[in-house]
Amino acid sequence: MVQGKISRLSVRDLRFPTSLGGHGSDHTDPDYSAAYVILETDAEDGLKGYGITFTLGKGTEVVVCAVDALAHHVLNKDLGDIVGDFRGFYRQLTSDGQLRLVLRKVLCIWLQQPFSMLCGTMGQAGGKEEQMLMHGYPAYTTSCAWLEYSDDMLKQLCTQAPKGGWTRFKVKVGADLQDDILRCRLIRNMIGPEKTLMMDANQRWDVPEAVEWVSKLAEFKPLWIEEPTSPDDILGHATISKALVPLGIGVAIGEMCHNRVMFKQLLQAEALQFLQSDSCRLGSVNESLSVLLMAKKFEIPVCPHAGGVGLCELVQHLILFDFISISASLTNRMCEYVDHLLEHFKYPVIIKNASYVAPKLSGEAGYYTEMKEESVKKHQYPDGKVWKKLLTAQRN
């Protein structure tokens, strides 16, 4: 049993100047960023917890402020009490009488708990754990087709990718139909008819526009269209699903979905064929698990959103748990993977043969996201070395 108390909470505003490179072109000039939380304990072994939430630059200071507003629910808490009543702890964090009006996005803060502890709870893992340890969990890559990449860059990426074993590719669409047709044709030709292609519109369309636009891309056989319209438009997604499923195209949505109740709507309304939960947008492991269980009930595959900063490191534990203890299936299931910014993590995910390698049961890294001290120091906003330099250059 864990022993000790949470003795200190510190939070950092970390920003990576990705807007300089054209990566992550789904948002306007994003600087991939994170509010990074470190929990210290007075445990004898010096146990620490590392949490993160993904942001896009400006506004990270608001999330930092929100973490500070929640700190009193965490500080001085006994670790045994937390583990003994996860639900009570989670409710306290998400239902603070005064804060609940303000905070509808609760940060994902968790203590280091190895994956083995999670999957122990449900048993029934027979053979599945071994399968994951041997082969890993299938991944797909979004690194190869941002809107702003040139054709030459696309060609180069599409040629390299299969060498790494990649068989599933996602392309960003929705800015210009003719350009989409050209890029999708290029990519489909490069990867061949057997490989899987997905499309991501990042909420660019209204409902009829989505149906019309995607119908014109149907010849490139996308498995799904992701975020065709406003993420809150549950019934709009149901309409889009109804129109596109007969064309063999599913709707994928969920990265902006803030709680289990919204996912319940999407599932009940038959608004999605692929569920893309986000481990930072959902408040904690508790909320994520309830979404995995609902998806199982509705027989909808979970293909989590990842990438950003630290999302891959968190989500790998959830998908392994999903396979071993809930879904028991890999059909139509895969987890997003983006190879940016991994170098800043002490225990980055490991990808082999286009699959997430299962973290070792005896390893150090559980559901947490410890970053390298040097990276943290350099990328603190606005006082880290990287930003001092950039901000000075901007001024001159």
Contact between 364 and a second copy by CB under 8 A: the answer reads no
Amino acid symbol at 270 = E
Concerning whether 172 is annotated as a catalytic residue, the answer is yes
Asked whether the beta carbons of 234 and 271 are under 8 A apart, the reply is yes
Contact between 31 and a second copy by CB under 8 A: the answer reads yes
CB of 11 to a second copy, least distance (A): 13
Contact between 104 and a second copy by CB under 8 A: the answer reads yes
367: which DSSP letter? S
Q: Cβ closer to a second copy: 62 or 245?
A: 62
Q: Which of residues 49-78 bind a second copy (CB under 8 A)?
A: 54-63, 65-66, 69
Binding-site member from 112, 259, 290, 332 for a second copy (CB under 8 A): 259
CB of 362 to a second copy, least distance (A): 36
Q: Which residues contact 93 (CB under 8 A, 6 or more apart)?
A: 70, 73, 74, 106, 109, 283, 284
Catalytic pick among 170, 172, 317, 379: 172
Please choose, out of 39-47, 137-145, 231-239, 328-336, the segment that lies near a second copy by the rule CB under 8 A: 231-239
Contact between 204 and a second copy by CB under 8 A: the answer reads no
Task: For residue 150, give both structure tokens.
Answer: 């040139």
Binding-site member from 105, 195, 346, 378 for a second copy (CB under 8 A): 105
Q: For residue 122, how far is the Cα from the chain centroid?
A: 24
321 Rama class: left (phi>0) / alpha (psi -120 to 50) / beta: alpha
Closest CA to 38 of 336, 337, 373, 326: 373
CB of 28 to a second copy, least distance (A): 3
Q: Cβ closer to a second copy: 15 or 128?
A: 15
Q: Which residues contact 74 (CB under 8 A, 6 or more apart)?
A: 6, 9, 39, 93, 109
Amino acid symbol at 196 = T
Per-residue three-class SS string for 39-60: EEECCCCCCEEEEEEEECCCCH
Q: Cβ closer to a second copy: 6 or 271?
A: 271
Q: For residue 271, how far is the Cα from the chain centroid?
A: 20
Instruction: Give CA–CA dist 39/71, Å, rounded.
Output: 10
Closest CA to 293 of 329, 257, 327: 327
Contact between 258 and a second copy by CB under 8 A: the answer reads yes
Contact between 99 and a second copy by CB under 8 A: the answer reads yes
29: which DSSP letter? S
Q: Binding residues for a second copy, how many (CB under 8 A)?
A: 42
Q: Cβ closer to a second copy: 103 or 190?
A: 103
Q: What does the DSSP assignment read for 282-314?
A: SSHHHHHHHHHHHHHHHT--B-----TTTHHHH
Q: Which residues pair with 345 in a beta bridge?
A: 371
- Sign of the Cα torsion 158, 186, 219, 148 reads positive
CB of 253 to a second copy, least distance (A): 13
Q: Cβ closer to a second copy: 63 or 292?
A: 63
Catalytic pick among 128, 170, 237, 305: 305
Instruction: Give CA–CA dist 267/359, Å, rounded.
Output: 31
Contact between 269 and a second copy by CB under 8 A: the answer reads yes
Contact between 233 and a second copy by CB under 8 A: the answer reads yes
Contact between 261 and a second copy by CB under 8 A: the answer reads yes
Q: Cβ closer to a second copy: 203 or 380?
A: 203
Concerning whether 297 is annotated as a catalytic residue, the answer is no
Please choose, out of 37-45, 187-195, 234-242, 376-384, the segment that lies near a second copy by the rule CB under 8 A: 234-242
Q: Cβ closer to a second copy: 67 or 79?
A: 67
Which residues participate in catalysis according to the annotation? 172, 305
* Footprint of a second copy (CB under 8 A): 27-31, 54-63, 65-66, 69, 96-105, 230, 232-236, 258-259, 261-262, 264-265, 268-269
